[in-house]
Structures are given as C-alpha cells and as structure tokens.
Structure 1
Amino acid sequence: MSADEPADSRVNPVVRAVLRLFAAPRVRMLEDYPKVRRLQRFLAGTPRRYRFLDRAILADDGSREIPVRVFQPREREHGDVLLFFHGGGWVTGDIESYTPACAALADLTGRVVLAVDYRLAPEHPFPAGLDDCVRVAGVLLREPGLVGLDDASAITLIGDSAGGNLAAAVSLRLRARGCPMPGRQVLLYPATWFDHDPGTSPFESVRLYGTGLRLTALEVEDYMALYQPDPQARGNPLIAPLLAADLSGQPATLVVSAELDLLRDEGEAYAHALRASGNQVRVERITGALHGFLTLPRFVRPVTLACRVIDDFLGAASETSGR
C-alpha cells in the first residue's frame, strides 16, 4: 500500500505475540555486537552458492582498499546498476552476511548489484563508513564506464536501514561537493533521525513498535552511540538527514517503509521532506512487514513485493529521464 494512505498502525495483541516469536534475541548491542556479527555470517551460509565477483576501490589516500562485491542476476533484464549499502546499524552486517540478500535483489530486479563493504563502528566511528560509501559512489559516478555504463544516471544508490541512511547521506554529500549525482536512490526503512527514545522521539512509530519486535528503540540507541559516541554531534545532517537545511537537488527517490517498524515514520517523513523540496519522490509502505525484511528468504511476501516496487520505480524513472 502507499504510505500516503491512512492505516490503523496498532498491532493486535495476538499478532504482536506471534511477531515476538520472530523477533531477534534481545542483546545489549554496546557489548554484544561482535557476537551479532558472527551470528549473521553463520546464518548467511556459504557465499559459494551465489554468482559474484569481488573487486575493490582504493580509498582517497590510497592506503587501503574498499571491498566491493558484484552480483550478476540470473537474467539481466536491465542495463542500469544498483550500488548497495548494507544495514546493521553501522555496526554489524558486512559483504558476507548480506550476500544472500544482494543475490536475491539482483535476481528479482534483473539488475547488477554492487555491494560496498564499508568500515564499521565502533572500530571506525562516523564518518569512516560514510567516507567509504562516498568514495566508491564518487569513483563510479565519475567513471561509469568502470561498470559498463555510459552515464552516471544509470547508477542507483540503494540501502536498507543504516544503509538507507548512508545512501541518503551520500547523496547529500555528493550534491554539496558538486559531484556527479546518481539517477535515483532507493531507501529501504532508512534511519533519518537521531533520537529514538520513546519518551522524546517526535515519531509515533517509535512508541508503537520500539519494544518487543525485531528491532527495539534501545538497540537503535546503542547503534547510534557506537556510530557517533558524542550525543551532541548526532544532529549532523549526515547522521540525521531530516535535519538537512537544504534537500533540493536530490535524485529521484523511492522510500520503502515497513508497517511494524519503529523507523517507519522517520523514513516516510524524510520522503515528504524531499518532496517538499521539489524532488521526485515515491513512498511505499509494506503492510505487515517488520524492520530488516530484506534479509529474509527471497520468496517471502515483503521481499518479493519490495523488489516489484523497486523494479517498477526504476523502470518509471528511466522512462521519465528518457533512458
């Protein structure tokens, strides 16, 4: 359904009890993030089942490489490319644990997916991970021929959760620097705000879904503390894009939210703010979906529906741009 349509956002107590069965085990992310990283890799299984090609792009100073994994779809139906930033609260998730999700995204959209293995907090706090994403995006947008493209408009930035936050922040930084811009961006249940305390957050979804489901408000606050340890610095628009003073000149944007997600309202609010600044924006809410659904098996409804929405958005955007 469209997020612009009214909906009863409260979860029936019986439904909530069932959803809790699928919730992630409660952890204190400040201490347990290494365990979560290992568990994610284990659950992802061996990547040898998927067709991918590992590449790297040199960091700005040439001192290290930023890994990029290239996923070819079973049938390539479209010539454009998706540049993907994974979720995980800027702290967990990596190129291995997201291999199944990226392979599914490539197959279900018929597009090549390039996944960036950016540096993670707390070992590398803000802006390290963002810098990696900006570097990879900047290189490919300046030299689209590296991925077999004629122009930068055929590159779409896409990310889920913290990756959606990074995609939005990359677009903001690219515009501020006067760099070539991607043709589109797809933000899947993105984090766009700095405060997830149910007592002070301006968003009702934090109070409705901030406890007992797949992602909790406490976990988001832990992620934020690891990403940017200084609470006073979390108002940076590159951490909380909703605070950006100028949202003009952004790529055509699709925001996909999950109905039963504490980040739902802030993601949709960012979409509305982009639209109010003159950008082309589409908002879609996946009913009955929890946060993080992109990492579920490819055949489940939220994944297949979201990929259809993405495919439709990218196709419509291509027609509008004349490509």
Structure 2
Amino acid sequence: MSDTIEIERDTSTMSAPFVRPDVAMLLAMMAASGAPPMDQMPLADARDAYRMMRFVADADPTELAIVRDLTCPGPAGDIPLRYYDARESREAGPAIMFFHGGGFVIGDLETHHPYCTELAAKMDLPVVAVDYRLAPEHPFPAAPTDCEAAARWLAENGKTLGLDITGLVFTGDSAGGNLTIVVSQALMAKPAAVPVIAQAPLYPVVDSSQTGGSFTEFAEGYLLTAEAMKWFGDSYAATPGDPRNDCIHGELATLPPTLLVTAGLDPLRDQGRDFAARLIKAGVDVTYMEMRGTIHGFICLRKGVPSAQDDCDAIFRGMKAMLAR
C-alpha cells in the first residue's frame, strides 16, 4: 500500500493521461489550424468564434415541436429566453432551466442551441434557456442576478407557456454549471413559487482559487486553458470567496439531488470532484459522473468528438434516474 501511495505522489513517474482517439484528433486539428486562442482575440471576435464552433464541431439541432424566443423581466431590463419542447402540449410536471457556459464572457442562446434541443427531446421535458448578461460589460453579479430572476419568473409564469410546472430542474455547463448551483442555493434559501427538485451542473467552475492538480496538469493543450480561465476571471471581476461565484463556499446541505459531471482532461476536473465529495459529506443525494478521456465543453462538440454523444446520453439517463427518485 505504501508503494502505491508513493507512486501517486511522484508525478514524474505518472503515465500520460488517457485521451480518446476522437478527442486527440480534434485537439490536433485545432492546434494545426493556427487560430489564436479566444483569450487573445478582440472580445467581439472571440464571441463570434465561439458561435462559429457550433457549426464546425457540434451536432445539428434536434427537431422539436416548439422552439420559441421570448423574454422575462430582469433587474436591468428584459432577459432573452428560448423555450424548447418536444410536445405541443403536456400534463403537469417539472421544467428544466438551462444556463450556458462561456466563462461568463462568451456564449449565448445560439452556442448551446443544439444541446438544448437534444436535452428537451431526450428528457421529454420543457427546457428554458437563459441569455444572461455577459462580462466585462456586465461584471459579477449580473449573471447570477439575471439567472435567479429568470428562474423565479418561470416558477410563477409557466402558464404563459401553456405549462403547469410542478418543480424546477437547473442545469448548465462550465460557467452555466456555476450558475446552476448558485441559483439552486438562492432558491433553496428563499423558495420560489415551485420547488427546486434537482440540479445537474456539468463540469462547473466552483472555486476560483483553485491551483495545482488538474488545473496545472491540463493548463494548456486541452481546449480550455489556464490563460483562458484567467481572462474569464479578470473580465467577470467577481469578489473572491463570494458564494455567488465560489459556490463551494455556499450552503451545501440544503441543495437538491445533484448529478455532477466532470471531464477527465479538464482543468476544472479536481474542483468538481471536490465539490461532489463535499456534497456527499453534507448529506446531499449525489450522482457523480466523470467522462474519462474527454475535454471541457464536450456537450457542444458532438460532431467533432462523436463519443460526446454517448456522454450526453449518459447525462440524460442520469437526470432521468435522479428525477425518478
């Protein structure tokens, strides 16, 4: 046993991490393209590049009965939303609210549109995606403030969409995974018109102070880089330790059943592992999934990384099992 511990601590003897063949191919193509990293582009160009990635690397949208743009009132004006449903009408039941990733700086309803259509189809539940304000024009806490306002609006106004909503399920990736947890914490502390019944943060950022471990091991060469995280953090300008950003410091014991997903080659992997462990210790019903051999952002890479479809299907199965409990 002591020999095993010694080997784990001696990083010089560790073998290279497992990388799926399709992930390796995508990373090689991106490296060969010569395109500058997004954090080195002008802001408008970075946002355009992120939108364009959808057409290069993501699957086509899934056909649905309803895809409708709408707005809800927010603290700084109307918040754009997009409503997805595989059915024209449905009986009373839960609704999913989705918060997109992009480091609080890039990303919008378009970047995650294919995933949201797939989420609505595979879960057979209504999905409402939130186009919250982005930094640096709107730094912290604009994003969580908008998302909480949108969640409370949906809880009270489902009937305007023809829905009888009995509970809310929050999910999102990366920055959206952070917002998933932050909004859950806010609505558990001050309940909305209907309860939060589950959450599914995907490779979330939960601790902006993280150093070492996966943050160092995968600092470059695996899509999301440490430099990009610095750019996002500087732009977002959150107060260090504020639980509305570093949600690992927020109230954990009251959180709803949680499906927490990480990617094996992600700088954020270890903080996701840590957060899942803390939730378990706090007594929360947790399902933890780590998608081995893949990278941050995989839910939006189903064409560039075909194995990501299996990962997404596993997420949907996990969410269904969580709701069935």
On whether the aligned pair clears a TM of 0.5, the verdict is: yes
* CA deviation after TM superposition for structure 1 residue 259, in Å: 0.6
Cα deviation for residue 250 of structure 1 reads 0.6
TM-aligned CA distance change 1:76 to 1:257, over 3 Å: farther
Contact 2:96 2:128 in 1 (8 A): yes
Residue 227 in structure 1 maps to residue 236 in structure 2: yes
CA distance in 1: counterparts of 2:202 and 2:39, whole angstroms: 22
Root mean square deviation of aligned Cα: 3.2
- Per-residue deviation, 1:39: 2.0
- State the TM-score, normalized to the length of structure 1: 0.82
Distance 1:14 1:59, change over 3 A: closer
Cα-to-partner distance string for 1:136-180 (whole Å, 9 max, x where unaligned): 111222444445554542x21000000001111111122233445
TM-score normalised by L of structure 2? 0.81
> How many pairs are equivalent?
302
- The equivalent of 1:4 in structure 2 is none
C-alpha distance in structure 1 between counterparts of 2:232 and 2:130, whole Å: 19
Instruction: Say which of 235, 243, 251 aligns to 1:237.
Output: 243
Q: Provide the C-alpha distance between the structure 2 equivalents of 1:264 and 1:178, rounded to a whole number of angstroms.
A: 30
Matches within 5 A, 1:187-266: 187-196=201-210, 201=211, 203-228=212-237, 233-244=239-250, 246-266=251-271
263-272 vs 19-28, which deviates more? 19-28
Instruction: Show the counterpart of 2:43.
Output: 33
Unaligned 5+ runs, structure 2: 1-7, 9-13
Map of 1:4-153 to 2, 5 A cutoff? 10-11=16-17, 18=25, 20-23=27-30, 25-27=35-37, 29=39, 32-45=42-55, 51=64, 52-60=67-75, 64-73=77-86, 80-153=94-167
**2:19–2:294 contact (8 Å) kept in structure 1:** no
Q: Deviations over 1:284-313 (max 9, x none)?
A: 011111100111136955432333333323
| Unaligned residue ranges in structure 1 (runs of 5+) | 1-6
Change in CA separation of 1:290 and 1:299 when aligned onto 2, cut-off 3 Å: closer
SS of residue in 1 equivalent to 2:294: strand
Flag the 1:295–1:178 CA change in 2: closer, same or farther, 3 A: same
**CA distance in structure 2 between the partners assigned to 1:39 and 1:28 by the alignment:** 8
Partner Cα distance (1:121, 1:205) in 2 = 26
Q: Which is greater in Rg? A: 2
Aligned pair partner of 1:281 in 282, 286, 300: 286
